Chains A and B, each alone.
Chain A
Amino acid sequence: MKKSSPWSGVLLAVLVLSVLVNIALCYQYMKLVGIARRGAVFTRTLQEKVERANQDRAVLQAIAVESLKYARTNREMFQVVQPFFPTFHQLGINLNSNTPAAGTQP
């Protein structure tokens, strides 16, 4: 009786190895898909918060510009706004125009 070829054993070993690699890759893939799905929800929440923060910043900048305009004719207003000048500078609020400061969106 002819014995089975040694190649058949090698082929079976390669097949089993391929199946194991395939299972491992599928597991990793499903894990990453889960992370990406959860991360997408969290990213959307963060984006909404960042959008709100940018809106607040734009409102603050607009009010600061209005108060400066008002302070040209009202010294009392100038005294109220003056302490905030370093803060505006520190926060990057541009008091020269009504446009929102660039680079606020991370």
Chain B
Amino acid sequence: MSEAFPPPPEANPDPRPKPAPNVSSGTAASPGTPTTPAVSEWDVDDLKAALNSVRQNVAIAIVGLIVVLASVNVLLFHQLAFLNTQVQEMLRSQKQMAGFLEDHRTNGAPYYVRFMEEMDQFGRTHPDFAHVLARYPRFQLPELPPGMTRPLLPGIDTPAP
């Protein structure tokens, strides 16, 4: 019975992995070293074709990315220009409104308050006019800070220049 079967393969006493076969020099095999199967020309051509394909794909991907990024950049540039115009417009409007408010605070409001004081004083001695005054709301002017004296109004408190 034992002669009918081939002998079992010998177990490899050295568990270290074998060195990788030299692909570029598949025919150089020195006596004494284990022979490795040579890489055929067909395999090399296949690898070259695969490498070229990968190169082409990477180039296409990069070109696509550049196109997408350029489109996003153009869009962002237009948005920036639009937003910049709006911000400039808003700043101009703010400047205009601040100028108006400053003029109101320094030139308008003191006269408003003074005129209302005169009218209130007149209304105390003339009740019929006090009824007229009562129809209108009071001014919403801010109070003067403590310690600040009211400026003299030219033309009313002092003679007009």
Contacts and interface: CB of A to CB of B under 8 A. Distances in A.
Interface of B: 48, 52, 55, 58-59, 62-63, 65-66, 69-70, 72-73, 76-77, 79-80, 83-84, 86-87, 90-91, 93-94, 96-101, 104, 107-109, 111-112, 115-116, 118-119, 122, 126, 129, 132-133, 136-137, 139-141, 153, 155-156, 160
Contacts of B79: 29
Nearest to A36: B87
A43 B87 CA distance: 11
30 contacts: A5-B59, A8-B58, A11-B63, A19-B69, A22-B72, A29-B80, A32-B80, A32-B87, A35-B87, A36-B83, A36-B86, A40-B90, A42-B94, A43-B90, A46-B97, A47-B97, A49-B97, A56-B139, A56-B140, A59-B137, A63-B133, A63-B136, A64-B115, A66-B132, A66-B133, A66-B136, A83-B155, A87-B156, A91-B107, A106-B93
A53 B99 CA distance: 12
B104 A53 contact: yes
Interface residues of A, number: 54
Contact of A56 (B48, B62, B72, B112): B112
B73 A14 contact: no
Contact of A59 (B77, B91, B136, B155): B136
Contacts of A12: 62
Contact of A52 (B69, B129, B140): B140
A94 interface: no
Contacts of B141: 56
Interface string A41-64: 011001101101101110110111
B90 A59 contact: no
Contacts of A4: 55
Contacts of A21: 69, 73
Contacts of B101: 46, 49-50, 53
- Name the residue in A11, A12, A53 with the highest tally of chain B Cβ atoms < 10 Å from its Cβ: A53
Given A25-B73, A32-B87, A91-B111, A11 B59 contact: yes
A14 B66 contact: yes
A84 B129 contact: no
